[in-house]
Amino acid sequence: MNTPEEFETLKKENENLKKNNAVKSDLISISAHQLRTSLSALKWIFKMFLDRDLGAITGEQEGLIKKAYESNERMIHLVNDMLTLNHVEDTALTFKMADTDMLALMEETLFEFSGESHKKNIEIIFLKPTETLSKVSCDKEMIRVVFQNLVENAIKYSAEGDKVFCSMREQDEAIEISVRDTGIGIPKDDQENIFAKFFRAPNAKDKDIIGSGLGLYTTKNIVDHHKGKIWFESSEKGTTFFVVLPLKQ
């Protein structure tokens, strides 16, 4: 047991930590937003060159501008992932819980990614349950981030013309969601690190697929805060991610 004096000291230290954390998080958010504004401006300038809006360019110039454009895209992706993670860590204690229709949320997410999947000629098949599902008490915008990360990865790590399957079912007072792809898979040796901050498996990096290694870390963070579970099964033939969210916590 702590003495009243020790308790007061701990309380003060805790308040200081909270204050420092808020300052750090504001700093990340402000710098990341400023970075993103500059990177977006660069993106449009590179694009104007590539679209020949500013006149003719040589093949050599085009090659270099393309490289700059892609490198800029990687930075935009990283900054966006950093902003999402910062937001999740910031608001984790004040999640806005409300009864949410998971099926509708997944449909919204899939619609959002229809452009991406179309570009790669990937068909997304949503195997919807026949029965009506109970709603889940959750922070809708945070669970949207979970769905977005899983669907985005399934498309990103699949080859052109592949299929992605989503499914949903209710079991034991919880909703189970799965997202399956037939993509590059996660090598056995890397599987234990997959939810670690900034981790990217070598087969993803070798293929030059844009990523930051923050998506699944953020996803797990959100699922944990909802007292849910997340896991995956993977082989060279593809990957399936599973998320289980209890109806009530």
Residues that bind ligand ADP (CB under 6 A): 149, 153-154, 157, 181, 183-186, 194, 199-201, 204, 211-217, 239
- With respect to ligand ADP, which residue has the nearer C-beta, 60 or 192? 192
- The angle that helices 140-156 and 59-91 make with each other, rounded to 10 degrees, is 150
- With respect to ligand ADP, which residue has the nearer C-beta, 185 or 228? 185
Cβ 127 to ligand ADP shortest distance, Å = 17
DSSP-assigned states of every residue in 22-43: HHHHHHHHHHHHHHHHHHHHHH
- With respect to ligand ADP, which residue has the nearer C-beta, 102 or 150? 150
Cβ 133 to ligand ADP shortest distance, Å = 24
- With respect to ligand ADP, which residue has the nearer C-beta, 49 or 178? 178
* Residue 213, phi-psi category: left (phi > 0), alpha (psi -120 to 50), beta (remainder): left
Cβ 66 to ligand ADP shortest distance, Å = 21
| Spatial separation of the C-alpha atoms in residues 145 and 222, rounded to whole Å | 9
- With respect to ligand ADP, which residue has the nearer C-beta, 49 or 157? 157
Cβ 236 to ligand ADP shortest distance, Å = 10
- With respect to ligand ADP, which residue has the nearer C-beta, 205 or 227? 205
Strand partners, 169: 176
Q: How far is CA 153 from CA 38, 133, 164, in A?
A: 26, 25, 10
Strand partners, 99: 137
| Structure token pair of residue 60 | 């050599």
Cβ 17 to ligand ADP shortest distance, Å = 27
Select the residue whose beta carbon is closest to ligand ADP and give its number.
Answer: 211
Cβ 206 to ligand ADP shortest distance, Å = 10
Report yes or no: 10 and 53 within 8 Å, Cβ to Cβ: no
Sign (positive or negative) of CA dihedral 80, 82, 83, 89: positive
